[in-house]
Amino acid sequence: MTLLELDAVRASYGKVQVLQDVSLSVPDGGAVGILGANGAGKTTTLRAISGTVNVRGRITFDGIDITRSGPEKVASLGIAHVPEGRGTLPNLSVRENLRVGAYLRKDRRGIAQDIDFVLELFPHLERRIGQNASTLSGGEQQMLAIARAFMAKPRLLVLDEPSLGLAPSTSQDVYDSIQRLRDESGIAMLVVEQNANLAFRIVESATVLETGHSVLSGTVEELKGRDEIRKAYLGG
């Protein structure tokens, strides 16, 4: 079953059109990557899904047309967006950040259980549960942003450049955590990433964007077999 589908999506900032023709789909429970160089439209694609840019074409989520829905409606339907730059609340503790992620939920027992769940998956956060987010390392802040988004109990987790600005070893730790979250929860994911080697650890398929167009889609194995993908994204 298809959970999210973009069909010939165009998006603009004022008069500047950034997405020309983007189509992709995410299966329910699946994980899909978006690859592309800087300026290809990756972040704008995620913003189109989240309802923060002007969009034409069609975006559906679980059969519901969300093309012109605002971010509050999109979030309420079950899409959680972890933006580039992490966006934790620096003056709140790790535990308080997690509780903020669950602010729309009413199930107090479920919230407590999910806090325990994410702390088990992200042991770095458990060790710093009472510290303010501003005191965490970059990798820990990224883990906190992902864990906080999960606390909303979304059906789809949208991640924008989880490895951005992180050292290679830290990026590996972050992706280890994302992999554990996916394995343990079965949540669907849409992952924007310039480092395809990292993205390919957790996604089953990917779409390549160039100048606002989706130009190539395929399974991870299919994409790994293409020379242009190996040279551009895999260091081959």
Residue 133 gets which letter from DSSP? G
> In a structure prediction context, what are the per-residue pLDDT tens digits for the chain, which is 236 residues long?
999 999 999 999 988 899 999 999 999 999 999 999 888 999 999 999 999 999 999 999 999 999 999 999 999 999 999 998 777 899 999 999 999 999 988 999 999 999 999 999 999 999 999 999 999 999 999 999 999 999 999 999 999 999 998 999 999 999 999 999 999 999 999 999 988 899 999 999 999 999 999 999 999 999 998 888 888 777 65
Q: Where are the domains of the chain?
A: 2-87+152-233
Q: Please provide the size of the chain in residues.
A: 236
* CA nearest neighbour of 71 among 56, 43, 52: 52
**Which structure tokens are listed for 6?**
């973009």
Cβ atoms within 10 Å, residue 220 = 19
Tokens 């929860």 identify what position? 185
Helix axes 108-121, 94-101, angle to 10 degrees: 130
Which class in CATH covers the domain with range 2-87+152-233? alpha beta
Identify the CA nearest to 27 among candidates 222, 224, 189, 157. Answer: 189
The DSSP bridge partners found for residue 84 are none
